[in-house]
Amino acid sequence: MSAFAHSIELVQAVAAAADEVKAHDTVAIDVSEPLGITDAFVITAGSSDRQVIAIADEIEKKLAVEYSTKPRSREGNAEGMWILLDYGDIVVHVMHDDARAFYDIERLWRDCPQIDTGITN
């Protein structure tokens, strides 16, 4: 089983929105096989807490306008180190560079296939 086409479309929209506000190192991972509760994780980074918040805001805005969807939940906004946006089919991790290096969540999912985000980092 792999991520559904709609989930891949959302992944690419998230990556484009993040890229518009200068996020970097954006990756998408197909976690549909081991998890079953979501299709994909998108992980992206910003270099400051303000940028992390701006990235998350831009992603929310783009998905609301283009797909009429809002996240089921948004966690971590106060600190701006790691904001999680749960859209059900996809989960977006917007991380400060320091938090991303520390937690290294891509390592946890290294056996899962990556999804083409449609952008170049």
Angle between helices 5-20 and 49-67 (to 10 degrees): 130
The pLDDT score that the predictor gives to residue 121 is 60
Q: Is residue 59 part of a domain?
A: yes
Domain of 39, CATH number, reads 3.30.460.10
Q: Is residue 41 part of a domain?
A: yes
pTM (2 decimals)? Answer: 0.93
Q: Is residue 116 part of a domain?
A: no
Q: Is residue 28 part of a domain?
A: yes
The pLDDT score that the predictor gives to residue 77 is 80
The pLDDT score that the predictor gives to residue 58 is 98
C-alpha distances out from residue 6 to 21, 29, 52, 98, 100, Å:
23, 15, 25, 31, 27
Q: Is residue 52 part of a domain?
A: yes
C-alpha distances out from residue 115 to 2, 32, 48, 54, Å:
10, 12, 26, 24
Q: Is residue 119 part of a domain?
A: no
Domain count, the chain: 1
CB 64 within 8 A of CB 58: no
Q: Is residue 18 part of a domain?
A: yes
CB 84 within 8 A of CB 91: yes
Q: Is residue 113 part of a domain?
A: no
pLDDT by 10s per residue, the chain, length 121: 455 889 999 999 999 999 999 999 999 999 999 988 999 999 999 999 999 999 999 999 999 999 999 999 999 988 889 999 999 999 999 999 999 999 999 999 999 999 999 887 6
